[in-house]
């Protein structure tokens, strides 16, 4: 049995081919999408969970060392791990929101896989984290289908998030491959996510066209200029149809982060001043919402930084706002701020003003955001996204017949207008924004494994 597997930054989903059509498989209750989140009592519990409850053993000395450390740490902390202690998807988020201080919570692990400078044991931990998520999704799919899933095509961005270029890409893909193999997949192939989305769109074409796929995902924006249509469909070798690619670490999450930083962090003291007249240090307000930047998150939540925040609170002209920042640190609430920013971004696509309620604080705070301020906040990531569109066009040296926009942020009127300004008069079409990549991966799995 083969599937397409979209291991996404925001959500994960899988699909198989049924009667010649990609068919999604429920992976969280009746839902076909599961948020890319994990919660556990401790970081170390993820590794112990794989060994103790999934019968997945380390495959090298680094893995064995990590497992020994994990078990020893949990024993020292008096934690007797139960299978139900590890949660995924919405259950993970719910658990985190109920008890953030004593919950290890990770959103979008895919964002970290290309990070450079990691020690071997850190790379191993990310592999364990991805493997645990894949085991959960694979088992859910097998329960739904009533048969074993042995083969998969996994989607990957043109470039993973990371500053190492090809080295980041190779590291991230290697982590995914090892994790998938340990999770029980016997054959694993990869396909670029925008190409996969294009394969799904191709199924609707009755004549060959030059298609620009613009895939705006949670963590990356990827563009592919592709020859597509009946003469290409079903071919094993598509190399001559792949005209140009561009991709970068900028996606829907970046829009949310910038809205959180510019519009919500002032409630925590951003832009305020100290009694001396100096402004508060910007990094103290950027790092907690930079949820796709592992070093930033690590730096903010250290004990040393807690001391720095307490000093800022003493020096602040508006100490009430800094008290909220200290609460954010102590309760690990950065994800909650970004989540409210995402809600505001969606709301402002339909209305001029949106009130965001920071109700996860001990004393709820309302923040009014207007559309113009939101647009100003996202100008930087939007500009980067549109530069990728222009890069793909420059590489290809010609204009497409049609633009196919997909991904979680593809319906954004701001982004659609920006693409139309680059390519005036070119038809802009959409499909299943959240499911086109998964469907295309299932189609490619059929080509690879049938």
pLDDT per residue rounded down to tens, the chain (450 residues): 999 999 998 899 999 999 999 999 999 999 999 999 999 999 999 999 999 999 999 999 999 999 999 999 999 999 999 999 999 999 999 998 888 878 999 988 998 899 888 999 999 999 999 999 999 999 999 999 999 999 999 999 999 877 778 999 999 999 999 999 999 999 999 999 999 999 999 999 999 999 999 999 888 899 999 999 999 998 999 999 999 999 988 988 899 999 999 999 999 999 999 999 999 999 999 999 998 887 899 899 999 999 999 999 999 999 999 999 999 999 999 999 999 999 999 899 889 999 999 999 999 999 999 999 999 999 999 999 999 999 999 999 999 999 999 998 888 888 999 999 999 999 999 988 889 999 999 999 999 998
Retrieve residue 136's tokens.
């959960």
Radius of gyration of the chain (CA): 22
CA distance 245 to 194: 9
CA distance 71 to 299: 26
Are 215 and 172 within one domain? no
Residue environment code for 131-149, b if the CB has 16+ CB neighbours within 10 A, otherwise e: bbbbbbbbebbbebbeeeb
Query: Minimal CA–CA distance to 421: which of 398, 446, 442, 403?
Result: 403
CA distance 309 to 326: 6
Are 226 and 175 within one domain? no
Residue 195 placed within a domain: no
Query: Minimal CA–CA distance to 219: which of 193, 245, 252?
Result: 252
Residue 445 placed within a domain: no
Are 418 and 330 within one domain? yes
State the CB neighbour count (10 A cutoff) for residue 57.
11
CA distance 34 to 137: 9
Residue 19 placed within a domain: yes
Find the domain containing 89 and state its range: 2-185
CA distance 393 to 399: 7
Are 154 and 225 within one domain? no
- Name the domain count of the chain: 2
Are 179 and 227 within one domain? no
* Crossing angle between the packed helical segments 166-183 and 120-145, to the nearest 10 degrees: 50
Are 98 and 242 within one domain? no
Residue 196 placed within a domain: no
- The model carries a pTM of 0.86
Residue 103's pLDDT is 92
Residue 446 placed within a domain: no
Are 147 and 236 within one domain? no
Give the list of residues 6+ apart from residue 264 with CB closer than 8 angstroms, or none.
289, 337, 340, 341, 344, 356, 358, 367, 369
Residue 5's pLDDT is 98
Are 33 and 120 within one domain? yes
Contact 275, 316 (CB under 8 A): yes
CA distance 260 to 340: 8
Are 125 and 223 within one domain? no
CA distance 51 to 47: 7
CA distance 254 to 218: 8
Give the list of residues 6+ apart from residue 371 with CB closer than 8 angstroms, or none.
348, 351, 352, 353
Domain CATH code at residue 153: 3.30.420.40
Residue 10's pLDDT is 87
Contact 44, 37 (CB under 8 A): no
Helix (H) / strand (E) element for 130: namely helix 120-145
């Amino acid at each position: 049995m083969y599937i397409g597997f979209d291991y996404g930054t925001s959500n994960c989903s899988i699909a198989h081919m049924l009667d010649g059509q990609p068919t999604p498989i429920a992976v969280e209750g009746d839902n076909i999408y599961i948020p890319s989140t994990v919660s556990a009592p401790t970081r170390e519990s993820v590794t112990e969970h794989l060994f103790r409850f999934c019968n997945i053993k380390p495959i090298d000395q680094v893995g064995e060392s990590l497992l020994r450390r994990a078990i020893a740490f949990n024993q020292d902390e008096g934690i007797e791990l139960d299978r139900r202690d590890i949660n995924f998807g919405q259950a993970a988020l719910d658990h985190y929101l109920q008890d953030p201080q004593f919950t290890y919570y990770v959103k979008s692990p895919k964002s970290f896989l290309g990070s450079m400078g990691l020690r071997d044991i850190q790379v191993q931990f990310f592999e364990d984290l991805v493997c645990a998520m894949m085991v959960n999704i694979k088992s859910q799919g097998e329960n739904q289908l009533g048969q074993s899933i042995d083969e998969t095509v996994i989607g990957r961005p043109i470039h993973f998030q990371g500053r190492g270029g090809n080295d980041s890409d190779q590291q991230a893909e290697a982590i995914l491959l090892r994790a998938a193999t340990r999770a029980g997949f016997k054959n694993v192939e990869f396909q670029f996510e925008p190409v996969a989305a294009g394969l799904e769109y191709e199924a609707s074409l009755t004549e060959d066209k030059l298609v620009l796929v613009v895939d705006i995902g949670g963590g990356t924006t990827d563009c592919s200029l592709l020859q597509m249509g009946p003469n290409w469909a079903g071919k094993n070798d598509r190399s001559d149809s792949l005209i140009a690619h561009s991709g970068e670490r900028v996606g829907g999450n970046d829009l949310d982060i910038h809205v959180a930083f510019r519009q919500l962090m002032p409630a925590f003291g951003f832009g305020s001043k100290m009694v001396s007249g100096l402004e508060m240090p910007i990094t103290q307000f950027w790092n907690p919402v930079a949820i796709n930047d592992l070093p930033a998150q690590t730096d903010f939540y250290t004990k040393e930084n807690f001391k720095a925040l307490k000093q800022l609170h003493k020096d602040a002209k508006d100490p009430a706002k800094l008290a909220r920042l200290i609460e954010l640190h102590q309760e690990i609430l950065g994800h909650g701020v970004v989540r409210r920013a995402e809600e505001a971004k969606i709301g402002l696509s339909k209305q001029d003003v949106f009130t965001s309620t920071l109700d996860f604080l001990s004393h709820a705070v309302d923040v009014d955001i207007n559309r113009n301020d939101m647009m100003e906040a996202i100008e930087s990531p939007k500009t980067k996204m549109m530069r990728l569109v222009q890069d793909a066009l420059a590489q290809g040296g010609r204009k497409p017949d049609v633009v196919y926009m997909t991904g979680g942020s593809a319906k954004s009127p701001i982004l659609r207008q920006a693409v139309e300004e680059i390519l005036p008069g070119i038809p802009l079409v959409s499909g299943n924004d959240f499911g086109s990549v998964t469907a295309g991966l299932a189609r490619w799995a059929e080509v690879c494994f049938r």
